[in-house]
Structure 1
Amino acid sequence: MNMPEDSKNQLCGARVALIAGPTASGKSSLAMRVAERTNGVIVNADSAQVYRDLRVVTARPSAEDEAALPHRLFGYIDGAEACSAARWADDAKTAIAEAHNGGQPAILVGGTGLYHRTLLEGLAPIPEIDPDIRADIRASPVEENFAALEREDPASAERLNATDTTRVARALEVIRSTGRTIDAWQKEKRGGIAQDIALAPAILLPDRHWLYARCDARFADMFDSGAVDEVRALIDRELDPSLPIMRAIGMPEIVAFLSGGLSREDAIAAAAQATRRYAKRQYTWFANQPPADWPRPRESECEKYENKIVTKLLQ
């Protein structure tokens, strides 16, 4: 679904809503209501829901919901593949352009902040990292890498958490492989669509206690609604355990249950806890990272912001 360069002008003036927030925050329900009122197309922006193998475990829309309204980029990639933010952004541009060409707004829904940022801001044109440099850095402890980063790219070291293994390694491998800092590359981002579209964003940030209670209840329901069968079928495929689909929230706990390592009750409790922790991280990210002027409605304010989104999409 890669979008040709000469088709990018098809995005000019496209009406796009972005409904984001932590898992279990009610994003999908709001997206369905907005799509119904605007004749819109719902476009997935959740990195787990791109995979077709785990509809229940990843809380993908039901088959009935997908049939009721147009849905794009849900369950369209086999679990044997790893979807990158760049691939998804290309596919999302195509889906938005198709909706725009049909006179319909696109309603992006999902909690993967990296996907949103890649689509709107574009990607830095960082060359391929030298594999030997990458292997050397990834084999070193984070303390050693951070000390090296303080010497070689002090600005990144000041910005990053000293214990953030992935980001510290990434910043260090970029400076060593390209001779330029990752911040310098980031200033040259290309391919973003923020300037071409009419965007109506909303980040749902419900009460934390309400959110965590929803996380608990939702996973208990998933366990009895097909999640175990989905995981069993995926195990039977003997896929590479490092694939994203094999690390989905709830997957390790159900695997442990199927192997006899956890009881049903313990598996549900452990998966619910993992879901709450993930929701907490997302909550913190969405509270602080997106632009400050993006609305962040509470649960009681959803109807008001729904009307605002609908009004902007119908303009």
Structure 2
Amino acid sequence: MADLPSIVCILGPTGTGKTAAAIEVSRQVPASVINFDSRQVYRDFPIITAQPDSEERAACPHLLYGFLETAEPMSAARFVDMAHTAIAEVLEQKRLPILVGGTGMYLRFLLQGMAQIPEIPEDIRKGVLERLQREGPQKLHAELCEVDPEYAARIHPNDSQRNARAAEVYAATGKTMTWWHSTEHTPAPYHYCKVGMEMTLNELTPHLGKRINIMLEQGAVDEARAAYELCPDGDAPGWSGIGCAELLAYVRGEIDMKRTKELWLRNTRAYAKRQMTWFRKEDDIEWFRPGDNESVAGHVLSWLEQGVSS
């Protein structure tokens, strides 16, 4: 292990203070934060997706945040390639890479490798996209629940990109995403420490509600309006994020603000529950309470020292 480059992964459900914990670690050792949240890659939604603010970014370098156009898709394979490049860049600078986020699938593929799914024939891809436009992602998700309930439980019914991807892979290969993800692959060449930030869902829920109110005070509605001017296609990948989808409906006049906030909180809570379920299946995470950042930093420093001495 000592011969492998060391990286730290700070994970957990949305709203549990992962960025603050990473910044505390960066105060103890030169480090850079690398995003592994599938929504925080979108440029037009820094408030709604809770990307690090200017003060947090000033504390240490941040990579892979807010670089993607709303209409551009982001896949796990693309993330893994970009993350490997970012990690190499940070290591070359003699800094500690700290991966921060809540998209468990991205992190798993980065650390454990991912299956090489064959190229999807164009006619199948086109057919799935036509169905997506005609029937919506919810129909594809309902079918996914039948053939691959495990994967379906991990993604939102409104997630056009992932539901379409699952449908085209199954149509082209006859194998589910769960099957592909469970096939043997080569782990990434890193020595890693996984730190989790977690509280109970009942404890987290009121905090999520307060965070939504803060986002609205910070200008989330104006952010959504500006993004809609740039990309009025509601099926664009960037709009599938929680908060983005609800505010899009508000901007379009389809729901009022009261309903927007209700849906936003309900969907955020459901997402946090799915994240908790995912991460509880991992057996190599050291868990901490949100805000216990000094303990996180101490744990990481001890782990780094053990790695050097081993």
TM-score greater than 0.5 by the shorter chain: yes
TM-score (normalised: structure 1)? 0.79
**By how many angstroms is 1:64 displaced?**
2.2
**By how many angstroms is 1:260 displaced?**
3.1
**By how many angstroms is 1:90 displaced?**
1.2
Counterpart amino acid of residue 264 in structure 1:
M
Q: Which residue of 2 aligns with 1:8?
A: none
Which of the numbers 101, 106, 112 marks the counterpart of 1:115? 106
Q: Aligned pair 1:80/2:71, yes or no?
A: yes
8 Å CA contact retained: 2:144, 2:152: no
Counterpart amino acid of residue 191 in structure 2:
A
**Corresponding pairs, count:** 289
Q: Aligned pair 1:187/2:183, yes or no?
A: yes
**By how many angstroms is 1:182 displaced?**
7.1
- Structure 1 distance, partners of 2:140, 2:236, is 23
Q: Which residue of 2 aligns with 1:45?
A: 36
Q: Which residue of 2 aligns with 1:271?
A: 264
Cα 1:131–1:33 change in 2 (3 A) is same
**By how many angstroms is 1:265 displaced?**
2.8
- Structure 2 distance, partners of 1:287, 1:199, is 18
**Matching of residues 274-313 of structure 1 within 5 Å:** 274-288=267-281, 290=282, 292-299=283-290, 303-313=294-304
Which of the numbers 216, 224, 227 marks the counterpart of 1:231? 224
8 Å CA contact retained: 2:36, 2:99: yes
8 Å CA contact retained: 1:16, 1:313: no
**By how many angstroms is 1:112 displaced?**
0.4
Cα-to-partner distance string for 1:117-153 (whole Å, 9 max, x where unaligned) = 1211222122112344566788697888888x6xxxx
Cα-to-partner distance string for 1:256-303 (whole Å, 9 max, x where unaligned) = 322333332332222112111111111111112x2x132233448654
8 Å CA contact retained: 1:18, 1:201: yes
Cα 1:243–1:313 change in 2 (3 A) is farther
Counterpart amino acid of residue 262 in structure 1:
I
Cα-to-partner distance string for 1:196-240 (whole Å, 9 max, x where unaligned) = 222111122212222111111100110110111110011111343
Cα 1:313–1:129 change in 2 (3 A) is same
TM-score (normalised: structure 2)? 0.80
RMSD: 3.2
Write out the 4+ residue segments of structure 1 that deviate beyond 6 Å after TM superposition: 135-138, 140-147, 159-162
Cα 1:181–1:66 change in 2 (3 A) is closer
- Structure 1 distance, partners of 2:223, 2:59, is 23
Gaps of 5+ in 2: 132-138, 158-162
Q: Based on CA coordinates, which of the two structures has the bigger radius of gyration?
A: 1
- Structure 2 distance, partners of 1:43, 1:32, is 12
Cα-to-partner distance string for 1:36-73 (whole Å, 9 max, x where unaligned) = 21111111111111111100000000022112211111
Q: Which residue of 2 aligns with 1:152?
A: none
8 Å CA contact retained: 2:115, 2:180: no
Q: Which residue of 1 aligns with 2:45?
A: 54
Which of the numbers 226, 230, 251 marks the counterpart of 1:258? 251
8 Å CA contact retained: 1:14, 1:105: no
The 3-state SS of whatever aligns with 2:287 is: coil
